[in-house]
Chains A and B, each alone.
Chain A
């Protein structure tokens, strides 16, 4: 009770509880924040890969395909039955699997959920929602170079 006989708006116990509560909360937050930050791995700066030597023309007969390394991600190089060379990202747009070229279908196929893409990388059957990212192909002699952002 205050000196003038009226009840204070905030009692001593309420104030102490509030101080104790907030300090406890702050201590918890101070401990949890570093833990939350710790469990998320830091971004590793990768030198951006825009152009790679994806394979040799002599090793890619018509109506075949092969997966190549594009930085940390897989890409796929295909040679159509008519002999044309094309390159796409090999990551299925459905749920992240790696696609392959099926000579019997003569187009791209994802084994995980039976997704089909045509020779332009367009999703034509099964669950994939979007086409595969297409890359630019340059052929210098026997070397096949693939460039991103074409």
Chain B
């Protein structure tokens, strides 16, 4: 212990760490009926940590070419000791991370935490969710199987329909006109270098803002939060968060061990798209909507109308702190609250109905 104390003293002497400790000692978390919502950002971070560790492990064997990718993943799951487990954890944890991020985002929205002065936190969080979906989309292709091949054809074709920059974006994403080995190499680069770099920067900003501004107390909970004493962050909240992480780890372990992620069939660019093809669950609402749209809406191609509406919806969601004017004064508009519940109902119902096979 003497050594640790001396090490701390010498670091503090050089770096002036005492204020940080003081900050941590006084950090508090408000207590009220909806304080459960405070745990989901941290849980998302926990799954991200697992993604980083398992991702680095998979890098030791994965080969990013059209000829070798599928075989290298096959080698990982069949020959490498615990390879099936590491890959299964990586896939399941990715999905749990997105799920947890969605719960986090919707709870933040519905409790009005996006309002002034937390606009930047909302915007950085929104960008982080887009990056997470980018991770999912790029990682999905890496095993180079049939499903991921066609999902990438569709996804990049959608990006190619962006006005003005569409054709440029399509060639940038695909590394050519079609989805080929060049696309796989690019997606690998995005997945392991570009997206992690952007995520690190934005995540640092996101966490810094939360430290700076503290936890948001929802409008209706202010009185209760005043009445009940807040809990200290260290060690009380940190330990509770650790218990939530442990729960997340247990769920992940069960899913990864009992439902190992399938590898599927190797992609063949000259085979028809297989029946029952579906994207990852978090793109299902979009997928089913695109299926339901008629070929033409008011003379415009149906999928273009759908994509324009998704973009508009995303923009409204992103700009909620600005558009919901009352929120700046602490009075949220009923319209924005209703919009949030409608968005949640749409997302959940379409995803569940699609998983249940209700759509043709």
Contacts and interface: CB of A to CB of B under 8 A. Distances in A.
Partners in one complex: yes
Interface of A: 39-41, 44, 67-69, 72-74, 76, 90, 94-100, 110-114, 123, 126-129
B277 interface: yes
A129 B178 CA distance: 21
Contacts of A114: 291, 360
8 contacts: A41-B175, A41-B176, A44-B176, A67-B271, A67-B272, A96-B156, A97-B277, A126-B291
Given A39-B172, A73-B178, A127 B273 contact: no
B270 A95 contact: no
A112 B279 CA distance: 9
A97 B153 contact: yes
Contact of A112 (B156, B172, B277, B294): B277
B154 to A, nearest CB: 5
B274 A127 contact: no
A126 B360 CA distance: 10
Contact of B157 (A96, A110, A129): A96
A41, A96, A110, most chain B CB atoms within 10 A: A96
A96 B154 contact: yes
Given A112-B277, A127-B302, A69 B270 contact: yes
Contact of A127 (B177, B178, B277, B295): B295
Nearest to B180: A72
A127 B294 contact: yes
B304 to A, nearest CB: 9
B157 A74 contact: no
A96 to B, nearest CB: 4
A123 B296 CA distance: 12
For the complex of A and B, the 7 pairs showing the least CB-CB separation, nearest first, are: A100-B272, A96-B157, A97-B273, A111-B273, A129-B301, A113-B291, A129-B295
B275 interface: yes
A112 B150 contact: yes
Given A40-B168, A40-B171, A129-B301, A111 B277 contact: yes
Given A74-B270, A128-B295, A97 B154 contact: yes
B293 interface: yes
B290 A127 contact: yes
B326 interface: no
B220 interface: no
Nearest to B156: A96
B269 interface: yes
A16 B224 CA distance: 59
Given A41-B171, A95-B157, A112 B293 contact: no
Interface string B286-315: 010011111110000111000000000000
A72 B277 contact: no
B182 interface: yes
A72 B178 contact: yes
Contacts of A94: 290, 303
A98 B146 CA distance: 11
Nearest to B178: A72
Nearest to B150: A97
B357 interface: no
A95 B290 contact: yes
Contacts of A110: 273
